Amino acid sequence: MYAPENVRFANFGERVVASLIDYVILYIVGFLLSFLFGAIEGSSLYNLMGFILGIAYKAGLESSNKQATLGKMAMGLKVADNNGEQISFARAIGRYFANVLNIFTLFIGYLMVLWTKEKRALHDFVAGTYVIKSK
Could you tell me the residue ranges of all domains in the chain? 6-133
Q: For residues 75 and 17, is the Cβ–Cβ distance under 8 A?
A: yes
- pLDDT average, residue stretch 41-49: 72
- Does this model's pTM top 0.85? My answer is yes
Q: pLDDT grade, residue 39 (50/70/90)?
A: low
Spatial CA neighbour of 124 closest among 5, 8, 35, 9? 9
Task: Choose the most confident range, by mean pLDDT, from 11-20, 23-32, 38-47, 96-105.
Answer: 11-20
Q: pLDDT for 82-127, tens place per residue?
A: 998 999 999 999 999 998 888 888 889 899 999 999 999 999 999 9
User: Residue 88: which region, alpha, beta or left (left: phi > 0; alpha: psi -120 to 50)?
Assistant: beta
pLDDT at residue 50, as a whole number: 81
Least confident of 3-17, 37-51, 108-122: 37-51
Classify the C-alpha dihedral 95-86-13-71 as positive or negative.
negative
Q: CB-based contacts of 72: which residues, under 8 Å, 6+ apart? A: 18, 22, 62, 78, 79, 131
Using a pLDDT cut of 90, give the percent of the chain over it. Answer: 64
In Å, what is the CA distance from 81 to each residue of 8, 125, 135?
A: 14, 11, 17
- pLDDT average, residue stretch 21-40: 84
